[in-house]
Amino acid sequence: MPSLRNFLSLRYIYELRPTIGMVMRITVDITSIWIAFLIGWLLVDGKDPAALVTREAPRIVPFIGLISIFAFMAYAVAGIYSAKYRRALPAKSFHLTWINLVLLMIAGAATSLIAPAAVSAHALLMMFLVASSLQLLARVSSAVLRSEDVGQSGHGQDKEPDPNRVLVIGGAGYIGSALVEKLLRQGLQVSVLDAMHFGEEPLAGVAGHPNLTLIREDFRHIEVLTRAMSGIGSVIHLAGLVGDPACAVDPDLTVDINVTATKLVGEIAKACGVKRFIFASSCSVYGACDEILDETSRFNPQSLYARSKVASEVVLGSLNCDDFAVTLLRFATVYGISGRTRFDLVVNLLCAKAVHDGVITVFGADQWRPFVHVDDVARAIALAFAAPVDRVAGEIFNVGSDAQNHTLGQLAILINAQVPEARIVFDDTSVDRRNYHVSFAKIRTQLGFEPAWTLELGIAQVISTVRSNQVGHYSLPTYSNLLYLKECGANSFGNFKITGWETEYMNINCIDVASNGMGQKTAA
């Protein structure tokens, strides 16, 4: 449900744009309330219809009028009338029922003050049941009619793909919240498909933008994906469970979200006529190696998360063709502040610990990692999106900077230089076998990408943010994928759809790279 802050701001109501469809929905909802009241008042309480026009009108009409106004405001705040906040039928049904239940309780309390003895509790209960039933029936009928239209139009693609329209799946996440703003600044029409597990704050900076459409849904739903991709020219897929610890909590959930759903997204995008598809992968696919690694290097994934990225790359690579350009971006270890801040990333976490705890604990000081700022990641995605299609179709790019390859020990020293009161503690008992030094020459030479941030600047940004109390304590679940998953449980992400083919793909450790950048898989 929308937060109290959103309700008090009335921002969603201000964003409403009068359309025939919206007016019809509002009319149906308000009419349902009046019909439901009349049924309860006349049939349950056995009132005389003439009394409503004579004796009772001064009390009853204002009372139901107020209920209707509150209902409209609540429905609008919930995003039920706005095309920017589309929801599937089950979500709409839940919100309508929940709001009506609250209105029932308010009406019950108000009758004793505004219209004592005029409306019984039984009549109000009947009003709630009938109004909810009529509203849900109207939406079910509308959904059935739309589904018939979708069937006739073929896979729901009722609009020609527009190159200026882009769908960002997971657009309210750590990277997505930085990317969406950049795409909007380029004048693009951006749709964000995100379940909004971390609330409204990540996209607060662009809320209400005329070119932004927000779809609060789980991206694993076929109907949601099909509708979201109607008329979309490009898809940027950032959604998934991210990070080794979070993915290890529930392996089935990880495979379902990161692999099964990614295949579904790719296949539906291709069927809907999407021309470009950019996928967020990770340099963690390289795992452990003492050599300098590039896009042709052999995989050596050391975690379930890394294996899920390998599997996704293979699945999406097989879909690449002349009419469906797939680009795979392997991100270095990301750091920095964005709309949805994370403190479960090594740079951000060590900075927060240095400030709050006065200790920088390093596990495996000799391990190499490539680093990149979240804002630079967003710029790299936007750059790949804007590049000529023949330059990025079927290509894989490591995203980062050669200069930002550091050992974890070196990272600790850089942080300590800016928080000198903190002490460094080295712990060599770590079982983390990851160790990779990555080359980023390809994205630099082919796309002209150069990071704007240095690791030192990023460290200063995080430290400044932590010290200014702009964010809460770094240990809060909202800043950690692992802690959030443990607190909310796997059930908050819905049911699994694993079908069996994933097992083979989760055991891939190599892709024989072809001339176009994609290739054939090789099992472990």
Q: Within this chain, do residues 105 and 125 fall inside the same structural domain, yes or no?
A: yes
Q: Within this chain, do residues 77 and 172 fall inside the same structural domain, yes or no?
A: no
CB-based contact 285:313 (threshold 8 Å): yes
| Rounded-to-integer distance, Cα 147 and Cα 140, Å | 10
CB-based contact 235:169 (threshold 8 Å): yes
| Rounded-to-integer distance, Cα 165 and Cα 237, Å | 14
Q: Within this chain, do residues 32 and 179 fall inside the same structural domain, yes or no?
A: no
Q: End of a domain among 121, 136, 153?
A: 153
β partners of residue 213? 191
Q: End of a domain among 153, 170, 200?
A: 153
Q: Within this chain, do residues 124 and 214 fall inside the same structural domain, yes or no?
A: no
Q: How far is CA 63 from the centre of its chain?
A: 40
The domain that holds 219 is classified in CATH as 3.40.50.720
206-257 residue pLDDT tens: 988 999 999 988 888 888 899 999 999 999 999 988 888 888 888 888 888 8
Q: End of a domain among 153, 181, 210?
A: 153
Question: Which pLDDT score is estimated for 493?
Answer: 66
155-199 residue pLDDT tens: 444 578 888 999 999 999 999 999 999 999 999 999 999 988 888
Q: Within this chain, do residues 217 and 114 fall inside the same structural domain, yes or no?
A: no
CB-based contact 184:205 (threshold 8 Å): no
Q: Within this chain, do residues 94 and 201 fall inside the same structural domain, yes or no?
A: no
Q: Within this chain, do residues 299 and 447 fall inside the same structural domain, yes or no?
A: yes
pLDDT at 330 over 70: yes
Number of domains the chain contains: 2
Question: Which pLDDT score is estimated for 2?
Answer: 41
Q: Within this chain, do residues 274 and 404 fall inside the same structural domain, yes or no?
A: yes
Residue with tokens 């920095």: 336
42-98 residue pLDDT tens: 787 777 767 666 666 677 777 778 888 888 888 777 767 754 445 556 666 777 788
Q: Within this chain, do residues 94 and 185 fall inside the same structural domain, yes or no?
A: no
Q: Within this chain, do residues 382 and 427 fall inside the same structural domain, yes or no?
A: yes
Q: Within this chain, do residues 136 and 166 fall inside the same structural domain, yes or no?
A: no
Q: How far is CA 262 from the centre of its chain?
A: 14
Q: Within this chain, do residues 71 and 170 fall inside the same structural domain, yes or no?
A: no
Boundaries of domain holding 265: 162-523
Task: Give the 3-state DSSP-derived string for 10-26, with helices as H, strands as E and coil as C.
Answer: CHHHHCCCCCHHHHHHH
